[in-house]
Amino acid sequence: MTGLIRGVLPVLHTPLQADETIDRDALAREIDWCFEIGADGVCGAMVSEVLRLTYAERLELTRLMSEMTDGRGVVIASVGAESTRQALVYARQAEEEGCDAVMAIPPVTTAIPEAALWEYFSTIARECALPLIVQDASSYVGNAISIDFYHRLLDEFGAEKIRFKPEASPIGPNLSALRDATEGRALIYDGSGGILLVDAYRRGITGTMPGVDLLDGIISLWNALRAGDESAIYRISFPICALVALQLQAGLDGFLAIEKYLLVKRGIFTSEQRCTPHAWALDEETRAEVDRLFDLLMQALAEA
């Protein structure tokens, strides 16, 4: 499995109907589009609204991701939870559904001490046969995970078992610190939504996990980075960075509002419905700026 979990691995947005249940048809369109344009796999994570789905819906999302991918790429299930017991239920289901890896954030409702955090992650690693991506989602929720803690997990379980998605600020220097502390052994994924992808790539990441809304741009940017095409790199990355900057102003709800708006604009989703309650809605002036920047991205992709 090592070597497969790399490249562009978009985090799926969960399309919802008016009653906030999962829209399966839209999810199928989303997954099909991901693979049609060259994604290497799909993930469940924070912008999938996993923390807001019901228990049954979260299990359903993992099952549908695996079924609808149908072997076209890797599937990474989100299993982070408020208790180790909950996380193991999600992790074992991911195994049963044929997923390729699991990804877990720490519990977010309390700042647990490092000894308890170690027990949480190490238990998931021991009890689940799949590779575990340890996600620091502290830019959205929870608290930052230290480089020493990452290093200890890597020494205990090895690079094939434990991978990392560090999102604590400053992201770039933290990526380099983890890379250097582990002498390049750590497999690291970018989780910046694309705004820091150029910087992260130059620091030696294994892959990137953006949202789906800008995925064609991210894939083109990834390919330009691999080819060393400096002109294309910045032509594509600038509108992506500007769009993600707008998303960042309202945290997780900013990402969700703009990303779902763009997925409707693309014809992949039929509704911008999000799980309620949420803290921020897209106003008309922000919407107009998103449209202008999206047009610039489409123009850059056409030129590339």
Distance between CA atoms of residues 19 and 37, nearest Å: 31
In a domain, 238, yes or no: no
Q: What is the pLDDT of residue 168?
A: 86
User: Looking at residue 41, what DSSP letter applies?
Assistant: E
> Which helix (H) or strand (E) is 36 found in, with range?
helix 24-36
Cis peptide before 131 (omega within 30 of 0): no
In a domain, 149, yes or no: yes
Q: Which two tokens stand for residue 121?
A: 């992650």
In a domain, 173, yes or no: yes
> Which helix (H) or strand (E) is 135 found in, with range?
strand 132-136
Q: Which range of residues forms the domain containing residue 221?
A: 7-228
Q: What digits encode the pLDDT tens for the residues 116-129? A: 999 999 999 999 99
In a domain, 234, yes or no: no
Q: What is the pLDDT of residue 1?
A: 39
In a domain, 280, yes or no: no
**pLDDT tens for the 304 residues of the chain, in order:** 334 899 999 999 999 999 999 999 999 999 999 999 999 999 999 999 999 999 999 999 999 999 999 999 999 999 999 999 999 999 999 999 999 999 999 998 888 899 999 999 999 999 999 999 999 876 666 678 899 999 999 999 999 999 999 988 899 999 999 999 999 999 999 999 999 999 999 999 999 999 999 999 999 999 999 999 999 999 999 999 999 999 999 999 999 999 999 999 999 999 999 999 999 999 999 999 999 999 999 999 999 8
State the total domains in the chain.
1
Q: What is the pLDDT of residue 119?
A: 97
In a domain, 259, yes or no: no
Q: What is the pLDDT of residue 247?
A: 96
Report the CATH number at residue 158. 3.20.20.70
In a domain, 297, yes or no: no
> Would the annotation count 209 as a binding residue?
yes
In a domain, 250, yes or no: no
